[in-house]
Amino acid sequence: MTDFFKGLTPAKYEGPESTNPLAFRHYNPDEIVLGKPMKEHLRFAVAYWHSFAWEGGDPFGGRTFDRPWFGGDMDDARLKADVAFELFTLLDAPYFCFHDADVRPEGESYAKSVKRLNKLADIFEEKIAETGTKLLWGTANLFSNRRFMSGAATNPDPDVFAYAAATIKANMDVTHRLGGENYVLWGGREGYETLLNTRVGQEMDQMARMLSMVVDYKHKIGFEGAILIEPKPQEPAKHQYDYDVSTVYGFLKKYGLEKEVKVNIEVGHAILAGHTFEHEVAMASAHGIFGSIDMNRNDYQSGWDTDQFPNNVPEVALAYYHILKAGGFTTGGTNFDSKLRRQSIDPEDLLHGHIGGMDTCARGLKAAAAIIEDGTYDKFLEERYAGWNGKEAQAMLKGERSLEEIAARVETDDLDPQPRSGRQEYLENLINRFV
Ligand code: XLS
Ligand code: NI
Ligand code: NI
């Protein structure tokens, strides 16, 4: 044990009446919701980067956190790993996620960086066995180092493409070795700052080539997890190719990868793309590519991807409603890709953030389950589309009627469809009964 969290004990479920700020009031891991323990629905994962690598800087000032592992050598990396697993244990979080750059200091060469990554993976292997915390996903940081400033897979320099490919390989190997359940690709630099210096067609071909190699390699090494793309419209690049779920689906379809790759959807990214989070989940489910979520929100005034812990139950409830309707998570889970605010410098703040976020999600999940169990809302949707169960409607939908045939029927039957209320206000009030 390190002394980083000294005096703090594991967070326990104490029920809604508890006033203990370090207890769960709603997240009760073994409580059964829709026939399954809450922890199996939610599958929480703590993100290594914002909790342990983020230093509290902003564009106007540097580091505000003072962590004993900020020296940046291999001993510091070891200490950081010790503290990280202590947090996972304090929260009883079933999973964690990491980028290579979060866990190991960069080496002077590719080979040295990989050697260090593998060393950390040895340490993780032991800790996973000891604590039971598992790896939800691994990923490569292909955006922080200056070599990636003009893109990784989409770089105009093929040597950078090669370096990125090698880095992804190393990270897939480690993810596979650690029993990771998914591998994520987030393309922060896969886009452009100005169209003036960019051939978008060529860059998207490069990106698809990389993704195809990732899929091939996954099969070659027998990695059974899902490959996930994390859409985001911009930030850091002015425009990113993985703009939103539907853009990613179109891209996958174009390159024949829609059966091989799914999406990891983040709340703040959905908002940046001009959508609600539940919109993105519903679209992913409709396209058949729903994978996993990053449950961190933006500050709605500043408009940036501030990666804060969720604290709005109604929003989270609608998201879990769509997730439950999509059949729930299979390999995916609820990752907190989430940052403390830069003034929250105490170790205890890490617990407040995660406990609050997990409780918010638990309440959201329970509300979503209650909506489903009550059935009124699902019945409304059923009835709204009931006309499509009719014989003629089904024939139209299945492509058994041509435009001319339909036109003839409309004329003969003298069809005169009457508008029906969409009942939005009724529905909003109905949902409010549960949240
Ligand atoms: C950044 C992304 C990033 C991914 C993993 O906005 O959310 O943190 O989740 O690379
Ligand atoms: Ni994310
Ligand atoms: Ni993000």
| pLDDT, tens digit (0-9, with 9 covering 90-100), for 329-342 | 999 999 988 799 99
What is the secondary structure of 391-435 as a DSSP string? HHHHHHHTT-S-HHHHHHHHHHTT--PPP----HHHHHHHHHTT-
Nearest CA to ligand 1 atom 2: 186
Distance 307 CA to ligand 3 centre (A): 6
- Which one is catalytic: 99, 176, 269, 287? 99
pLDDT (0 to 100) of residue 45: 98
7 torsion bin: left (phi>0), alpha (psi -120 to 50), beta (else): left
Distance 233 CA to ligand 1 centre (A): 12
> Containing H/E element for 379?
helix 376-384
3-state SS class at 67: coil
* Alpha helix stretches (DSSP H) within 24-157: 38-42, 48, 74-91, 100-103, 110-131
- What is the number of the ligand 1 atom nearest to the C-alpha of 232? 6
pLDDT (0 to 100) of residue 302: 81
pLDDT (0 to 100) of residue 56: 96
Q: If you average pLDDT over residues 223-251, what whole number do you get?
A: 98
Mean pLDDT of the chain: 97
Q: If you average pLDDT over residues 351-360, what whole number do you get?
A: 97
Question: Closest Cα to residue 144, out of 167, 123, 127?
Answer: 167
Mutation pick for ligand 1 pocket among 100, 145, 175, 337 (CB with most ligand atoms within 8 Å): 337
pLDDT (0 to 100) of residue 398: 98
Residues 6+ apart with CB under 8 A from 16: 25, 26
pLDDT (0 to 100) of residue 346: 97
Distance 64 CA to ligand 1 centre (A): 21
Residue 99 designated active-site:
yes
Task: Map out the domains of the chain with their CATH numbers.
Answer: 32-374 (3.20.20.150), 378-432 (no CATH)
Question: Closest Cα to residue 428, out of 365, 384, 377?
Answer: 377
Distance 244 CA to ligand 2 centre (A): 13
Q: Which amino acid is at 124?
A: F
pLDDT (0 to 100) of residue 338: 79
Query: Tokens for 236?
Result: 């850091």
Q: Before 236, cis peptide (omega within 30)?
A: yes
Spatial distance between the Cα atoms of 330 and 225, rounded to a whole number of angstroms: 10
- What is the number of the ligand 1 atom nearest to the C-alpha of 186? 10
* Range list of β-strands (E), 267-336: 290-294, 334-336
pLDDT (0 to 100) of residue 265: 98
Please give the span between the terminal C-alpha atoms of the chain, in angstroms, as a whole number. 40
pLDDT (0 to 100) of residue 300: 82
Distance 418 CA to ligand 3 centre (A): 45
pLDDT (0 to 100) of residue 428: 97
Mutation pick for ligand 1 pocket among 230, 243, 293 (CB with most ligand atoms within 8 Å): 230
Q: In the predicted model, is pLDDT for residue 168 greater than 90?
A: yes
pLDDT (0 to 100) of residue 75: 98
Q: Distance of alpha carbon 281 from its chain centroid, rounded?
A: 11
Nearest CA to ligand 1 atom 5: 186
Using CB distances shorter than 6 Å, the residues near ligand 1 are 99, 139, 184, 186, 230, 232, 266, 294, 305, 337
Which of the pair, 212 or 306, is modelled with greater confidence?
212
Q: Is residue 263 within 8 Å of 245, Cβ to Cβ?
A: yes
- What is the number of the ligand 1 atom nearest to the C-alpha of 141? 10
pLDDT (0 to 100) of residue 272: 96
Residue 73 designated active-site:
no
Q: In the predicted model, is pLDDT for residue 86 greater than 90?
A: yes
Q: If you average pLDDT over residues 76-97, what whole number do you get?
A: 98
Question: Which DSSP symbol is given to 63?
Answer: -
pLDDT (0 to 100) of residue 55: 96
Instruction: Encode pLDDT of 279-321 as tens digits.
Output: 999 999 999 999 999 999 998 888 788 999 999 999 999 999 9
Instruction: Encode pLDDT of 59-73 as tens digits.
Output: 999 999 999 999 989
Label residue 235 by pLDDT band (50, 70, 90): very high
Q: Is residue 2 within 8 Å of 82, Cβ to Cβ?
A: yes
Label residue 422 by pLDDT band (50, 70, 90): very high
pLDDT (0 to 100) of residue 175: 99
Q: If you average pLDDT over residues 413-421, what whole number do you get?
A: 98
Query: Tokens for 146?
Result: 């200056």
Q: State how far the alpha carbon of 246 is from the alpha carbons of 95, 103, 269, 304, 312, in Å.
A: 28, 32, 13, 22, 25
- Which one is catalytic: 92, 102, 173, 337? 102
Q: In the predicted model, is pLDDT for residue 267 greater than 90?
A: yes
Q: Alpha-carbon Rg of the chain, whole angstroms?
A: 24
Nearest CA to ligand 1 atom 6: 305
Instruction: Encode pLDDT of 357-415 as tens digits.
Output: 999 999 999 999 999 999 999 999 999 999 999 999 999 999 999 999 999 999 999 99
Label residue 151 by pLDDT band (50, 70, 90): very high
